[in-house]
Amino acid sequence: MEKTPGNSPEINLLLILAVAGGVFAQELKISGSLNSGLQGTAESLDPDVSGSDTETSWDFGAYAQDADVPLARADLNVDFTYDNIGAHIKLRAQGGETNTVKELPSIYAEYAYVSATVFNIVDIYGGVVDNGAWATAGDEADDVGEGLGGLVQIRPIEGLNVGFGVYDGLPAGFSGQDSLLNNTFTYGAAYAYPDLFKVVISGRTSDLVMRSIFAGVEVSAIPNLSLAAEIWSKTLDAEDKGFTIDEVVSYDLGDLDVGATFWQFINLPNFGPLAGTRYLPSPATSKEFNLGLKGNIWASYALAGGTFVPKLEVYGGYGGASEDITAHGEDVTLIYIGGKPSITWNIAEGAKIVAAYDLGWGKVSSDSVSPTILAQKVYVDFVWSF
């Protein structure tokens, strides 16, 4: 008697293996990235605080463009799910060296947590949690869904997510007695209507004092156009509260992409617009009003079917601080402008090489000195994601 395909043991075995493979693929997902390159940076000051010109000297070393840090970085993400439970871990290895900075190689867990869904509406997370449900598409990566502890989120209706978290430790800069109340309590809510909008609000409390608040909205009603605006403060417990506002817009025109990001800083102790530049004051506290603005506008165009993507970014900023909050007791104003042309070569799926040159000019004005700063950066970086 001739066998039919339905009775073939070989075909039945293949079907069983295919089904088993599909189930396994749904339960285990492995991804990651490698980000490593070479950068050169240089800053010249004319004149410097002593009244003499300085020569431009270049500092070369490792560079990771995705993170904008002078090191090489590798990430490995493992996500395992079975029915309504899961385990998630992100391992990171990094290290690097320049002429002036050396970071020893290290390996650590960026996050590692377990998750479970109960009654299809309650999501529970525990461990070193990383959750972005209460974030929008702006520039701020709000952290109320992150930390060592637990998080509970409830989805009572479609699009609505509310909940709270309890995390070990106190917010940065706060000291208090070791007690349950001095742990970090977070809470948030988000509502998203598909292809229309999303609104978010969240906060952080410890020792029965509200430490931070975040609110954001993103609009997706217009095809290919993304809009987002956010406002937040992480110094609600300070005498002079500081706030940051950002707005992000991007428009996908096919091969052409354009976008802009703008920030406004109000009463920030770290002098937001130029924080991290070594020629600027770094007041520890803010006793008087200070204001900062910065923004960048960019455009990119895909060539050869997206193989090559040149991009131009133009940026600038301004800030002012009163004499009461600067290190030398002087009023200080700062202004800077710059541009960064770059090109991305997508050499294969998940692999790219990025090359860029960044040139910025800035001026710091005070009663005693008014140095002009010229900052340069050139880098070539390789990124592989899988």
pLDDT digits (tens, 9 = 90+) for 257-314: 999 999 888 876 544 444 444 344 444 333 344 667 889 999 999 999 899 999 999 9
Q: Are 66 and 350 in contact (CB under 8 A)?
A: no
Q: Phi/psi at 19 (nearest 5 deg)?
A: -65, -45
| Alpha carbon distance 184, 202 (integer Å) | 13
pLDDT on residue 64: 76
Is 173 within a domain? Answer: yes
Kindly list the distances between the CA atom of residue 219 and the CA atoms of 136, 156, 162, 215, 297, in Å, as whole numbers in the listed order: 10, 23, 20, 14, 19
Cβ-contact 166, 188 below 8 angstroms: no
* CB atoms inside a 10 Å sphere around CB 235: 19
Does residue 217 lie within any of the structural domains? yes
The verdict on residue 37 lying in a domain is no
- In this predicted structure, the answer to whether residue 24 has a pLDDT above a threshold of 50 is no
User: What gap in Å lies between CA 142 and CA 378, rounded to an integer?
Assistant: 30
Residue range 28-39: average pLDDT? 92
- Using only C-alpha atoms, the chain has a radius of gyration, in whole angstroms, of 25
**Are residues 24 and 350 in contact, defined by beta-carbon separation less than 8 angstroms?**
no
Helices (H) and strands (E) in the chain, counts: 1, 19
Neighbouring residues of 31: CB distance < 8 A, sequence distance ≥ 6: 77, 79, 385, 386
How many independent structural domains does the chain possess? 1
Residue-wise pLDDT tens digits, 88-133: 999 999 887 665 556 678 898 989 999 999 999 999 999 999 999 9
- pLDDT value for 67: 66
Lowest-pLDDT range of 12-21, 226-235, 303-312: 12-21
pTM of the model: 0.79
Q: Does residue 89 belong to any structural domain of this protein?
A: no
Question: What is the pLDDT, as a whole number, of residue 339?
Answer: 94
Domain extent, residue 169, equals 119-234
For the ranges 22-26, 242-246, 279-283, 285-289, the one whose mean pLDDT is highest: 242-246
Alpha carbon distance 94, 78 (integer Å): 18
84 in a structural domain: no
Q: Report the pLDDT value the prediction gives residue 139, as an integer from 0 to 100.
A: 85
Bond preceding residue 47 cis, omega within 30 of 0: yes
Q: For the segment 302-344, what is each residue's pLDDT rounded down to a tens digit?
A: 999 899 999 999 998 887 765 554 455 566 777 889 999 999 9
Asked if residue 30 belongs to a domain, the reply is no
Residue 196 lies in a domain: yes
Within a domain: residue 172? yes
What is the spatial distance between Cα 255 and Cα 308, in angstroms, rounded to a whole number?
11
Grouping H, G, I as helix, E, B as strand and the rest as coil, residue 254 is: coil
